[in-house]
């Protein structure tokens, strides 16, 4: 399947990446080429094969249901581009 | 007398312990090397005071008659993918250019707990995505090696741990941390004539390490000898409750267990790794490696890993898919760059921030990952890739019925010149053809230098082991090291 400029714009929008028409036109053949190369996986017979979920057999551990962290609000805010009154500030989202 | 900054980790540790020199003298010698080597662009930030403080602590402990910690007095380089409290941590990206963590990654904390000090933060491919260190926002790292053709072409140190490989090869630090997602420790180690090991997935905690592809990312050491790798890996590894995939196992005494005697071990030679167009020198080195391991007492058997050719395409679905998810966190809200064009709403702010903050290769992988995970394509790409990954792991399981270890080249060529492959993403991806399969299966694997090619550039041999059997991997590495007698080092031009 060919990846065209519109597909690139749609993917960029899903990925929240601003993209110009020129960039989309440049990236389309590149992505098309890579995806075409990846499609050789379709040759492999995987009937009856379970998809891998854990590379080394391991299970998620349980722990006591107690608070182990927290109370570090100011520390969490130190790298925020815009912090106000202990909150992360963003452009207005409700018109 | 040998210069202090030419010593190995083991020699520094022993010398400090025995009082042959002080840890402060060692730290000062390496701090000076770092300061003189800006032409390599290996370090993004130098932290001489961190190294000196750790050194002074080691000297004080010795003066007080205390038992020294396992890496007391050893200064190292830290790949700038590990969060370091109070020290800028960028992942070589614009989006984290001004990010200073308030916390310490588990791996780096483990090293400080073992007495090591930090010389600085090392350059890398942006978010560890690359095989040549050409995707860093802060410029290319240059390999200290040059071809013997008088051309002085700037060579790639490999990637993504290219700052680490360049710095260790140039003797700016005796060891450095790396991370390996598809070969990012082993390929740069091979390109620069040093050693590096990626342990079994889950040995080293991923907590505080900036994520690329979480089911593949593993930290590991890069150093000049197998013994140094063993010392450093012992310090880095260990169970960590803060990483849900951390293995709840004791750390073996790998250094104490080192032995180059391979009697009773069977080493498999995977026939599918003999790829078309492989340079004759790589094939010759592989044969030499087989002879060395046989000489060390190992029995050599041919094995088959039939799904090898599908490892790279599976990797280039799985790794970008995980990356697109992991990198969704960079939204300009909680940390990192924010780009807020006039009048932009929240969605426009996200898109502008990410467009300005990520480099071209990172965007490429985010878009591939977004595409393969998008509605209608998920099963055909992602589920199929995870099934192929299961088959690749099964190939290794079947090989272990016939052998204990595998021997292969680390990379399909010696180091290439900067710019030589950067125009063609797939040509760049093919560099990882021998390292990606073991990453997909989570297996321990190591690269050790085997010799030089006709142009005078290092070539590496790779040993792959069973899950949790780092000891056999290190021992086979040691057997090669003892026989290769690799003493070549780059001539200083920087």
Query: Which candidate in B313, B324, B356 is best for mutational testing of the A interface (most A CBs within 10 A)?
Result: B313
Is A71 an interface residue toward B (CB < 8 Å)? no
Positions of B marked catalytic:
79, 160, 184
- For residue A90, list chain B residues with Cβ-Cβ distance below 8 A: 333, 346, 349
Cβ neighbour number for residue B418 with a 10 Å cutoff: 19
SS (H, E, C) B303-327: ECCCCHHHHHHHHHHHHHHHHHHHH
Reading the block at residue B479, the tokens are: 């057997």
A-B contacts at Cβ under 8 angstroms: 161
Query: Which candidate in B343, B356, B387 is best for mutational testing of the A interface (most A CBs within 10 A)?
Result: B387
CB-based contacts of B442, cutoff 8 Å, min separation 6:
A55, A56, B200, B201, B202, B393, B467
pLDDT at B422: 81
Give buried/exposed letters for B109-132 (b at 16+ CB in 10 A, else e): bbbbebbbbbbbbbbbbbbbbbbb
Does the beta-carbon distance from A52 to B247 stay under 8 Å? no
pLDDT at A1: 54
pTM over cut 0.90: yes
pLDDT at A92: 87
pLDDT at A61: 86
Query: Which candidate in A81, A86, A87 is best for mutational testing of the B interface (most B CBs within 10 A)?
Result: A81
pLDDT at B277: 80
Write the residue in A33, A41, A53 that is nearest to B384 by C-beta: A41
B79 pairs with which residues across the strands? B122
- For residue A49, list chain B residues with Cβ-Cβ distance below 8 A: 387, 390-391
Write the residue in B337, B367, B390 that is nearest to A31 by C-beta: B367
Reading the block at residue B396, the tokens are: 């290794």
Is A50 an interface residue toward B (CB < 8 Å)? yes
Does the beta-carbon distance from A16 to B347 stay under 8 Å? yes
**Backbone phi, psi, residue B189, to 5°:** -60, -45
Per the structure, the complete domain to which residue A10 belongs is given by 5-39
CA distance A38 to A45: 15
Does the beta-carbon distance from B310 to A58 stay under 8 Å? no
Instruction: Spell out the per-residue pLDDT of chain B, length 494, in tens.
Output: 579 999 999 999 999 999 999 999 999 999 999 999 999 999 999 999 999 999 999 999 999 999 999 999 999 999 999 999 999 999 999 999 999 999 999 999 999 999 999 999 999 999 999 999 999 999 999 999 999 988 889 999 999 999 999 999 999 999 999 999 999 999 999 999 999 999 999 999 999 999 999 999 999 999 999 999 999 999 999 999 999 999 999 999 999 999 999 999 999 999 999 988 888 999 999 999 999 999 999 999 999 999 999 999 999 999 999 999 999 999 999 999 999 999 999 999 999 999 999 999 999 999 999 999 998 999 999 999 999 999 999 999 999 999 999 999 999 999 999 998 888 888 888 889 999 999 999 999 999 999 999 999 999 999 999 999 999 999 999 999 999 999 999 999 99
Would residue A31 count as lying in a domain?
A: yes
Write the residue in A14, A34, A52 that is nearest to B368 by C-beta: A34
Q: What is the DSSP letter of B91?
A: T
Would residue A18 count as lying in a domain?
A: yes
B191-214 pLDDT per residue, tens: 999 999 999 999 999 999 999 999
Spans of chain A, pLDDT less than 70: 1
Write the residue in A15, A19, A43 that is nearest to B370 by C-beta: A15
Would residue A27 count as lying in a domain?
A: yes
Write the residue in A14, A49, A60 that is nearest to B374 by C-beta: A14
CB-based contacts of B91, cutoff 8 Å, min separation 6:
B80, B81, B124, B126, B127, B128, B210
CA dihedral B217, B222, B227, B228 (to 10 degrees): -120
Residue of chain B minimizing CA distance to A23: B360
Would residue A82 count as lying in a domain?
A: no
pLDDT at B150: 81
CATH number of residue A23's parent domain: 1.10.20
Q: For chain A, how many structural domains are there in total?
A: 1
pLDDT at B165: 98
Nearest CA to CA, how far is B60 from chain A (Å)? 32
Reading the block at residue B306, the tokens are: 């039939």
pLDDT at B151: 82
User: What CATH architecture applies to the domain B1-494?
Assistant: Alpha-Beta Complex (3.90)
- For residue A17, list chain B residues with Cβ-Cβ distance below 8 A: 351, 354-355, 358, 363, 366-367
Does the beta-carbon distance from A55 to B348 stay under 8 Å? no
Domain boundaries defined on chain B: 1-494
Q: Is the peptide bond before B111 cis (omega within 30 degrees of 0)?
A: no
């Amino acid at each position: 399947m060919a990846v065209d400029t519109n597909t690139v714009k749609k993917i960029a929008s899903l990925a929240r990446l601003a993209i110009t028409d020129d960039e989309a036109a440049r990236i389309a053949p590149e992505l098309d080429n890579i995806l075409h190369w990846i499609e050789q996986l379709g040759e492999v017979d995987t009937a009856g094969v379970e998809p891998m979920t854990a590379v080394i057999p391991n299970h998620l551990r349980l722990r006591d249901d107690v608070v182990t962290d927290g109370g570090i609000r100011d520390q969490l805010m130190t790298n925020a581009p815009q912090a106000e009154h202990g909150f992360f500030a963003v452009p207005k989202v409700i018109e | 007398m040998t210069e202090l900054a030419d010593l190995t980790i083991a020699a520094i540790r022993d010398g400090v312990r025995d009082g042959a020199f002080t840890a402060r003298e060692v730290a000062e010698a390496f701090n000076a090397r770092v300061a003189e080597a800006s032409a390599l662009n290996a370090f993004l930030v130098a932290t001489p005071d961190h190294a000196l403080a750790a050194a002074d602590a080691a000297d004080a402990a010795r003066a007080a008659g205390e038992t020294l910690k396992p890496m007391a007095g050893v200064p190292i380089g830290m790949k700038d993918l590990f969060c370091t409290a109070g020290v800028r941590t960028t992942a070589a990206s614009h989006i984290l250019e001004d990010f200073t963590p308030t916390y310490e990654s588990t791996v780096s904390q483990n090293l400080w707990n073992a007495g090591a000090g930090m010389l600085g933060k090392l350059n890398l491919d942006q978010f560890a995505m690359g095989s040549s260190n050409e995707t860093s926002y802060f410029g290319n790292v240059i390999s200290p090696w040059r071809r013997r053709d008088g051309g002085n072409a700037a060579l790639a140190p490999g990637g993504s741990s290219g700052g680490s490989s360049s710095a260790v090869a140039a003797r700016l630090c005796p060891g450095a941390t790396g991370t390996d997602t598809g070969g990012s420790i082993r390929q740069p180690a091979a390109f620069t004539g040093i050693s590096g090991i990626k342990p079994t997935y889950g040995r080293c905690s991923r907590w505080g390490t900036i994520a690329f592809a979480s089911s593949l990312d593993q930290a590991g050491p890069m150093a000049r000898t197998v013994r140094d790798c063993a010392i450093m890996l012992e310090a880095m590894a260990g169970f960590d409750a803060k990483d849900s995939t951390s293995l709840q196992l004791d750390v073996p005494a790998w250094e104490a267990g080192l032995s180059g005697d391979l009697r009773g071990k069977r080493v498999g030679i995977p026939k599918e790794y003999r790829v078309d167009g492989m340079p004759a020198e790589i094939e010759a080195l592989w044969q030499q490696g087989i002879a060395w391991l046989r000489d060390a007492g190992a029995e050599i058997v041919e094995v088959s890993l039939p799904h090898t050719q599908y490892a790279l395409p599976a990797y280039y679905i799985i790794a970008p898919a995980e990356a697109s998810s992991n990198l969704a966190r960079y939204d300009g809200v909680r940390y990192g760059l924010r780009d807020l064009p006039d009048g932009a709403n929240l969605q426009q702010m996200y898109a502008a921030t990410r467009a300005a903050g990520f480099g071209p290769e990172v965007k490429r992988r985010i878009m591939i990952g977004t595409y393969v995970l998008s509605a209608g394509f998920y099963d055909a790409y992602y589920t199929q890739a995870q099934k192929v990954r299961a088959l690749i792991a099964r190939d290794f399981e079947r090989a272990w019925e016939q052998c204990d270890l595998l021997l292969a080249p680390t990379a399909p060529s010696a180091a290439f010149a900067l710019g030589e492959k950067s125009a063609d993403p797939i040509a760049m991806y093919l560099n990882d053809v021998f390292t990606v399969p073991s990453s997909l299966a989570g297996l321990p694997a190591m690269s050790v230098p085997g010799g030089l090619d006709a142009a005078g550039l290092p070539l590496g041999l790779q040993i792959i082991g069973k899950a949790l059997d780092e000891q056999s991997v290190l021992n086979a590495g040691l057997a090669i090291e003892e026989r290769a007698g690799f003493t070549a080092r780059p001539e200083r031009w920087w």
